[in-house]
Amino acid sequence: MTSQDSKEPSTANWKGIVAQFRKPDAGRASWQLVNTLVPYFAIWILMYFAASVSLWLTVPFAVVAGGLLVRTFIIFHDCTHGSFFRSSRANAFWGMFTGWISFTPYHHWKWEHSVHHATNGHLERRGVGDIWTMTVEEYLESSRWKRISYRLARNPLVLFVIAPLFLFLIHHRFPQPGAKGRARNSVWITNLVLLGVGIGMSFAFGFLPWVIIQLIVLAVAGTVGVWLFYVQHQFEDTYWEHGDEWSHFDAAMKGSSFYELPKVLQWFSGNIGFHHIHHLDSRIPNYNLERCYRSDPMFRDVTSLTLWASLKTMSYRLWDEGSKKLISFGQFREKLRQMNASGQPSPA
């Protein structure tokens, strides 16, 4: 894992560079739909026949389907940004369709996700569409129960196994406070569609076999999806700033990583590893992100994570404003020891 200080070029300069890659390509978008959805539905057909022999035979297919569901979600994600197709109607149609497949209401998630892009790395605007992150000072001032809750929320088992299933099965079934109009209605429409799908699939597979298979698919996709989101923002030298010190450019280039994945994983993850570019300009379609990355040296002057190096990020828990780094609870305890040794007051 490497990180270098990025210096913001003139706004006109970087906006001029990324603007070259904003144009959606109907051909590339259509082909991405074909090479993602066709195999996804084909695998469900294979699982139907496999289930008639043994439910165990469906498990390998369900894992692959989970990987394809991650790619489907990236298409959905692009549609919410209006970047997948040039046509807003096409983005809305395919966004809703891929949202139903991934158990996510299109307009509601679009509304929530826009907040994430506007507030990523802003200490005063945390709490919507991000992973719960406390500063060292906030943790010290918290009650015992809040500390326990925070530790549980940051536990890998909860964060990467339990939370994803909760997110896609329960959280997305209810409108969040502040959701209005289309955002709120999209939740209920998605729920009705999923009810219909559930009834149809139960007739085809049997209720319990369908539930088991669907849970495996969602568990794989959800775990991978949350892991990708985590790695893209929760690395040691990430970016958090207060108020007027916050910068969109720095939040993108310092607060979003480049996740350097093997080609097959890059394909399944829909190029989302080029996350710093996506945050710099969310109107760049996923199929243009790599070309944009290779277009200028400034896009390589960011924190780069390999698959192996990214595993270390699981230990990071708290934002230390002094060092401007995410630290582990072990580093936090060492910080307290040093405070006590220097005669500073012990925290409550």
pLDDT above 90 (res 216): yes
Q: What is the mean pLDDT of the chain?
A: 92
Q: How far is 111 from 337, CA to CA, in rounded Å? A: 44
Let me know: does 18 contact 280? Beta carbons within 8 Å: yes
User: What radius of gyration, in Å, describes the C-alpha atoms of the chain?
Assistant: 21
pLDDT at 244: 85
pLDDT at 2: 45
- Mean predicted confidence (pLDDT) in 26-46: 98
Query: Does the reported pTM lie above 0.75?
Result: yes
Structure confidence by residue, pLDDT tens digits, 112-171? 998 899 999 999 998 777 899 999 999 999 999 999 999 999 999 999 999 999 999 999
Q: How far is 328 from 333, CA to CA, in rounded Å? A: 9
Q: How far is 169 from 87, CA to CA, in rounded Å? A: 30
Q: How far is 196 from 200, CA to CA, in rounded Å? A: 6
pLDDT at 344: 60
Q: 91 versus 5: which is more confidently predicted?
A: 91
The bridge status of strand 304-306 relative to strand 258-260 is: parallel
Kindly report the number of other CB atoms within 10 A of residue 145's CB atom: 8
pLDDT above 50 (res 55): yes
Enter the DSSP assignment of 176: P
Structure confidence by residue, pLDDT tens digits, 158-201? 999 999 999 999 999 999 888 889 999 999 999 999 999 999 99
| CA atoms within 13 A of residue 297's CA, in its CB half-sphere | 2
H/E element, 305: strand 304-306
pLDDT at 4: 43
Q: How far is 315 from 305, CA to CA, in rounded Å? A: 15
Strand partners, 326: 319
Share of the chain above pLDDT 90, in %: 81
